Every structure is written in structure tokens, then in C-alpha cells.
Amino acid sequence: MKSIGIIANVKKPGAKETVGRMISWAKENKVDFCLDEALKPLWDYDEKIFPREKLPEHSEIIISLGGDGTMLAAARAVGERGNPILGINLGSFGFLTEITADDIEKTLDRIARKDFLLEKRMVLKTKIEGDEKPFLYALNDVVIDKGNVARLIQMHLYDNEEFVCSYSADGLILSTSTGSTAYSLASGGPIIHPQMNVIIVSPICPHTLASRPIIFSENENLKIVVECSKRDAMLTVDGQVAEPVKSGEAVLVSKADHSVNLIKFPESSFYSILRRKFHWGIRPQGEK
């Protein structure tokens, strides 16, 4: 490992101290480092500070300090370059960021020894049909919803131009398996192992008892035609990037050509994280 790039949520408690420990480790181990420009107020390393989107050009590995939101932002910054990403949890729920700040030096030592695994995670690409803007990319999910208006919207789902069904709901979540434990799960979607490449479509508060989540293969090209009145609907990517969708417009969603490479360790399995973070599968305890 010759270089690391550090992205951090500066609002998280202990962010400055944790970044400082990483910088100290890098200096001691003769590893070059560079910092996201958001860290400029905290550290006087002007020659090592770059815009987030430029960090992958100057570092071999990207380290995300914060919660899952910071990790999703890091994945978007890396994009097609494919730099491995390590998530460090600074005190939030952190399903994607399972390593804690207490273990930073030991974790970096392991990475330097190449004692880790790389997990490839599927990414979704999305755009409004006919829009000349570039695709937006999501590691977790693409959400189409009614915005802040208390009104149902109509959405018509197509798979490779074949009509599938219509939804009358607050919105629709199109999720990867990585995102199956996020908003999709909260809306009644299934838990999918992250090594499975699928697209999960889950309605948000559908106005019918017959509407259920549906799982498509990674090869499908989905289109959602939106009908709404008075105000635009919203297209939101990973809960961080949003664009308005006008009535009659169609949102296109399919598998991206690139994937995200997450650094993982063999002793921490997907199922153990489910049990620890969600208390999944734990037998209820009766009263004593």
C-alpha cells in the first residue's frame, strides 16, 4: 500500500482525532496520504488536500470515516476508478462501516499486509429518459417519491419495455442487494445477500394490499413512468443527490458497468453483522 485517501464526516465526534491517528500511522509506515477538501479547516496540509472526486487519482485506497452516508459519498466519488474503500464507523449505526475507530491502527496494519478481502458490490445507474445529463450512480438505492406533498403518485413499471404493473403509492424504491438492508428493508423489502446481483423494487406505503416487492435480475432495464399532479415528484440517489421528475417523465434504472470494491475481513460475515446490528434471528426472551 503506497497511498491512502481520507474522506471524513467532520461533524462526527472524534473525527479530527481519528484522522490524526491515521496521518500518524501513514507517516510512521512511510505511506503517502491525501485528504478530502472538507478536512481543510482541521488540518494544515494544503499540498495534500484535494476535491473529493480527485482523491482516487492520488491514492491507492480510500478510507471513509463516519457512517454509511459517508461511505455512500465515498463510493460515488470513486465511481468507475474502482479504488478499494474501507469504512470506519464513528459512532452511528454503520451497517456498511463495520470497523470502529478503536481498531484503526490494527486494521491499517492488516491492509498493509494484504490481509483482507475485496467484495465487489453492484451499482445502479439512473437518469430521466431523454435528459442529456450524465447518469447518476447508486450503491444503495434509487428512490422516486412524492417529495414533501401528502399525496399519492402513480408509477407505471416496465421491464425491457414490457409493462409489469402500476403503483399508487408514496413512492418506489429500486435497490441493490447492498441497499436491501436500508430504506428497502424499512418499506417491507427482503434481505438479500450482498453478493447477489439483483434489483429489488419495493413500493412505499402502497394503496393496495396486493402490492408487494418484486426482485429482478441484474440484466433487466427498468423504466418507471411517473404521474403526479400539482408538484413534481423527486428522484433521489442514495439519499444524497436529488432531481425533480415531472409528470409524464420516465426514470430509467439498470445495472451500472462498474462495481464498488469494499474492503472486508473474513471474521466479519454478512450474517454476523445482521445479528449484531439488527438483532436479526435472535430468539425473543420471555419474562422471568
The residues that are catalytic are 68
Measured CA to CA, the distance from residue 30 to residue 239 in angstroms comes to 37
Question: Is 59 in contact with 5 (CB distance < 8 Å)?
Answer: yes
Asked whether the CA dihedral 117, 141, 79, 122 is positive or negative, the reply is positive
* Rounded Cα gap, residues 152 and 170, in angstroms: 5
Beta-strand pair 141-145/233-237:
antiparallel
* Beta strand residue intervals within the chain, DSSP E: 3-8, 32-36, 49-50, 61-66, 85-89, 99-100, 117-128, 136-138, 141-145, 153-159, 162-169, 171-175, 198-204, 214-217, 222-227, 233-237, 241-245, 250-264
Collapsing DSSP to helix, strand or coil, 143 comes out as: strand
Dihedral sign computed on CA atoms, order 169, 174, 177, 181: negative
CB 84 within 8 A of CB 262: yes
Among residues 224, 74, 257, the alpha carbon closest in space to that of 145 is found at 224
The string over 222-240, giving b where at least 16 C-beta atoms fall within 10 Å of a residue's C-beta and e elsewhere, is: bbbbbebeeebbbbbbbbe
Nearest CA among 242, 237, 233, 214 for reference residue 125:
237
Single out the residue of 163, 169, 167, 205 nearest to residue 186, CA to CA. Answer: 205
